[in-house]
Amino acid sequence: MMPLRISRGTFLAAALAIAMPAFAAQKPAKRTKPAARSIAPTPRSAMAKTDTAQQHFDSAQTYQLAGDFDRAAKQYRRAIAIGLDHLGNLRAARQDYPGAEQLLQQAMAADPDDPDPAVDLAITELYSGDMPKAETDAKTVLQKNPDHFRARALLGKIDFLQGNYQAAADELHAALGLATDFDIAYSLALADLELKKTSLAIVLFDEMKNSLPETAQLHVLIGRAFLATGYPQLATREFEHATGLGPKYPHVHFYLGLASLLSARAPDVPRGESQLELAEAEKSLQEAIRLQPQDLRAFFYLGQCYTSEQQWAKAADAYRSVIKLTPPAQQMDAAMAGADEGLAEALRKLGKNEEAAAESAKAQRIRATLQNDGASAAGSDTGKANGDSNQQELHSMMLRPGDSKPYDARAEAAYTKSVSLLLGQAYHNLGVIDARASRYTQAAEEFSQAAKWEPSIPNLDRNWGVSAFRAQKYDEAAGPLERQLRRTPNDLSIREMLGLCYYMGDKFAESAETLRSVLDQLPDNAGLLYAAGVSLVRSGDAKNGARVFSRMLEKNQNVPAVHLMLGQAYAQEQNYPEALAEFARALELDPHIAEAHYYSGMVALKQGKLDTSADQFQQELSVNPGYIPAEYQLGYVRLQMREADAAIPLLQDVVSRQPNHSDAHYELGKALLEQGKVKDAIQDLETSIRLHPTDYGYYQLSVAYRREGRANDADQAMVMYQKFRPKPHLPRQ
């Protein structure tokens, strides 16, 4: 039985007039230790300094208690934006970039006036590899906030990564004028070094040294900048200072050895000085290996030192160590090819030509594979000290200038737990403010967000369900209303709203079950009573449905839709005279009411009055054009009346507009078969079987196959007919 289309619009306004529970705000959240806000355009770590999210939440509650709801809402949104922003940065720190972007976009939506989430989103896009999007978003922020130094610094870094060093220097210089920051100054120095403005970079580095404590870390950072931009001699001085301050500082001996090796190779270095540099490189790299025996980069460059010193046996051992230490996943990268080539050269010099040829062949295979895969075969951080490896080093330094702290999963989990409570309560109270101002759509969305962060908030399901119901988002409202009703089964208003939500979703059985126990308690609300009556009738409880409709008619005899539904209730109980009387009364009140003629026709059909039913179905189509149930039934009746020529166009129109109407395909196929159009009949009968297998469908299909000369198919269809045919009931012996 098709749902009544008129019921939704006719009674919706009345149904919404049921009693509304009050919206309750939430008490203050517990204190939370939030994430830090760093100036550097990188994903930022939590717990570094006191966050302001709690402060804004507290301010919001103060305004809310004072009745200043506009300011309260603004402060709640500010607290939400800050919390989501920090959570997004934590996700980015563990390289969950899609998750980070989602949170940052939510932060932007919560407080569009705060540019920080937008900058952090651009940073995350940069880290995830979408540099064009990051550049666009950074420029968008600067259009509205030209003095936002983090956005300007980010744009400068993007220019640098794109090789636009002068543009990068200009942006970074402007950012440094807005705020003094180590990261920006360091990035500007890198840009100056790439522009060969060494003196400007040295001035910046000297300012860092004068304003910061002298540490091994600082000298290593400065040394790496010189090393990656082609100034190994200047780098050597910095690494030497670093080893004096912290001889066990991570990688300091490796960098000193690499700088010394590159200094030795400089074309303008005298031979004697070159030998001294090589000796220093060898010493430093050996110390690096002693401190970190698994550092394959140190072994690789040590092999190069030995090669330059023509110590071929030692060179071969160093390259073998590189190959041995390289993880299986990296056995086919450019660094391995470089190690194989270095080993091959050393073996040739040692007269081991067969082994040398084998290593050389391995290197060639790796290079060929990399070339076929579209990968660069020019080396990596372990394969070359210049070219692409320098660019990789510069990119790494530009994105993470300092020694990055390791990701702390426990710190993120602790912060997430803490801030989730604040976010849940902030969203909840913001929803209360919007609901009390009748902004139910916004309130429902805010309550749904509150449920994601802190589903245990008291009254949340009640507030969410009521708001979604008021916003006519019935599918969304059903879930929280179901949970609330389980908690408070005697809450009549919640039960009424849930019953209406089911009704609006055509879940008539659920609606009837929800409302059946309180039928006598339902208020005289036309929409609510109508929904209850329809649901009861549609779920097979015609008796109670009729009782509800009779109650409605006691208040108002002139509602055509009620007479229509009451007629359906009588029809279900096979009380056909009363059913037809109610349908007639509905048409008397509204001659154009949909489905009254249709249901009258169905009653006439059940009574075997084919002419009357055909007339009623035809009248239904005149007031309700294109109504498929009436068109199908009219086609069916015409077939029963042996009027196939009139029936077939009707059935063809039904299947063209509703291709999954299995009964229409069956009746059409049977009619075409009777007219001798066997191929067309087979097509419709097969479609009917595919949509809904039946015994009578297989029987007709078997007949059609046999007329087509498809004996095997006909036999198979008959087998299926026997399978689907109801088995006769046999009496007990």
pLDDT at 598: 94
CB-CB contact of 263 with 230 (8 Å): no
What are the DSSP calls for 85-132, one per residue? Answer: HHHHHHHHHTT-HHHHHHHHHHHHHH-TT--HHHHHHHHHHHHTT-HH
3-state secondary structure 518-571: CHHHCCCCHHHHHHHHHHHHHCCCHHHHHHHHHHHHHHCCCCHHHHHHHHHHHH
Model pTM score: 0.70
pLDDT at 501: 94
Q: How far apart are the first and last CA of the chain?
A: 41
CB-CB contact of 202 with 223 (8 Å): no
pLDDT at 283: 95
Per-residue buried b or exposed e for 31-52, using 16+ beta carbons within 10 Å of the residue's own CB: ebebbebbbbbbbbbbbeeebe
Give the chain's largest Cα–Cα span.
120
**pLDDT, tens digit, for every residue of 231-254?**
999 999 999 999 999 999 999 999
Question: Where do the domains of the chain lie, and which CATH numbers do they carry?
Answer: 642-733 (1.25.40.10)
Distance CA 297, CA 241 (A): 22
Q: How far is CA 384 from CA 301, 387, 389, in A?
A: 9, 7, 6
The first and second tokens of residue 698, run together, are 């297989």
pLDDT at 311: 96
pLDDT at 22: 60
pLDDT at 524: 81
pLDDT at 402: 53
Over the chain (733 residues), what is each successive 10-residue block's mean pLDDT?
39 49 58 37 37 90 94 95 93 91 95 94 94 96 94 95 95 93 93 96 94 94 94 95 94 95 89 90 95 93 94 95 89 83 93 93 88 54 49 80 65 86 95 93 95 94 95 94 96 95 92 94 83 89 88 78 80 87 91 93 94 95 92 95 94 94 94 94 94 92 93 93 71 43
